[in-house]
């Protein structure tokens, strides 16, 4: 059954893969934002140009 759908409508496979990859990227970005590293402030020396 799945073979017939893919043969008749090949764009369905492309859309399904696109949605799968988009979902994976979205999940990865959300996890990265949730567990982001601590921000460390760096002081500038007075000898550096502004």
| Better-predicted residue by pLDDT, 42 or 48 | 42
As a whole number of angstroms, the distance between CA 3 and CA 9 comes to: 10
pTM: 0.62
Q: In the predicted model, is pLDDT for residue 49 greater than 70?
A: no
Please answer whether residues 6 and 13 qualify as being in contact, where contact means their C-beta atoms are separated by less than 8 angstroms. Answer: yes
């Amino acid at each position: 059954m799945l073979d017939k759908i893919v043969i008749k409508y090949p764009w369905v496979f492309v859309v399904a893969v696109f949605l799968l990859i988009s979902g994976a990227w979205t999940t990865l970005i959300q996890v990265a934002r949730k567990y982001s590293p601590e921000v460390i402030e760096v002081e500038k020396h007075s000898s550096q140009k502004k």
